[in-house]
C-alpha cells in the first residue's frame, strides 16, 4: 500500500473526529505564521493552535518569498489577519547548502541550469528570521499596523525562542 492510500485510510478516522465544525474562513487568532516545511515541526501542536486558529504558510526554510508575500496580503486584506509570525528552526535543511553548490548539484544530477534561482539558503538561523522580518516590515503590501514577530523552534526540545527584530 502506498503512503497516500494509508493517508486516505487514516483520514476516515479523522473525519469521524472532525464532525461538522463549519469553521469561519477567517482565522480565529487573526495570525498568519510563515514557517518551514520540515516534518519535525508540527506548528499547531507547538503553538497550541486548533483547527481554524491561524493561517500557516510553509516552504523550504520558512522563507518570505514572493508567493508567501502574496498569501500574506490575501490573509491580511481579505481574511483579517493582524499579526505575522516568522518561525524558523534549528538544524534546517536550508543550512546544508549554498546556492552555488546546489546549482552545480542540479546541473550534474538533472542537467538543468538553475543559476537564475535563489534557493534562499542560510547559515545563521537567527539572522534568517531577522532578514525575513525586515522584508515584511519594508514591504508596502504589509501595513505598519500589522505586528510582525519572529521565533526559532528547537527541533530537539520543541522550545520556541523569540527573536527581536
- Tens of pLDDT, residues 93-132: 999 999 999 999 999 999 999 999 999 999 999 999 999 9
Domain limits for position 108: 23-163
Which tens digit of pLDDT belongs to each residue from 7-58? Answer: 999 998 888 877 787 889 999 999 999 999 999 999 999 999 999 999 999 9
Q: How far apart are the C-alpha atoms of 106 and 113, rounded to whole Å?
A: 7
Angle 35-48-42 from CA coordinates, rounded to 5°: 40
Specify if 10 maps to a domain: no
In-domain check, residue 62: yes
**CATH number of the domain where residue 149 is located:** 3.40.1050.10
How does residue 66 score in pLDDT terms, banded at 50, 70 and 90? very high
pTM for this entry: 0.93
Looking at the domain assignment, is residue 6 inside a domain?
no
Amino acid at each position: 500500500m502506498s503512503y497516500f492510500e494509508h493517508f486516505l485510510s487514516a483520514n476516515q478516522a479523522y473525519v469521524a473526529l472532525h464532525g461538522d465544525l463549519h469553521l469561519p474562513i477567517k482565522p480565529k487568532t487573526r495570525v498568519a505564521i510563515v514557517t518551514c516545511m520540515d516534518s519535525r515541526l508540527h506548528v499547531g501542536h507547538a503553538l497550541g493552535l486548533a483547527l481554524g486558529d491561524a493561517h500557516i504558510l510553509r516552504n523550504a526554510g520558512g522563507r518570505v518569498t514572493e508567493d508567501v508575500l502574496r498569501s500574506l496580503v490575501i490573509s491580511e486584506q481579505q481574511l483579517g489577519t493582524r499579526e505575522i509570525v516568522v518561525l524558523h528552526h534549528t538544524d534546517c535543511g536550508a543550512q546544508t547548502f549554498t546556492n552555488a553548490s546546489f546549482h552545480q548539484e542540479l546541473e550534474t544530477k538533472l542537467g538543468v541550469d538553475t543559476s537564475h534561482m535563489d534557493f534562499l539558503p542560510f547559515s545563521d538561523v537567527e539572522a534568517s528570521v531577522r532578514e525575513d522580518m525586515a522584508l515584511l516590515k519594508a514591504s508596502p503590501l504589509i501595513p505598519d499596523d500589522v505586528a510582525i514577530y519572529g521565533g526559532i523552534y528547537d527541533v530537539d526540545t520543541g522550545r520556541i525562542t523569540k527573536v527581536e527584530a
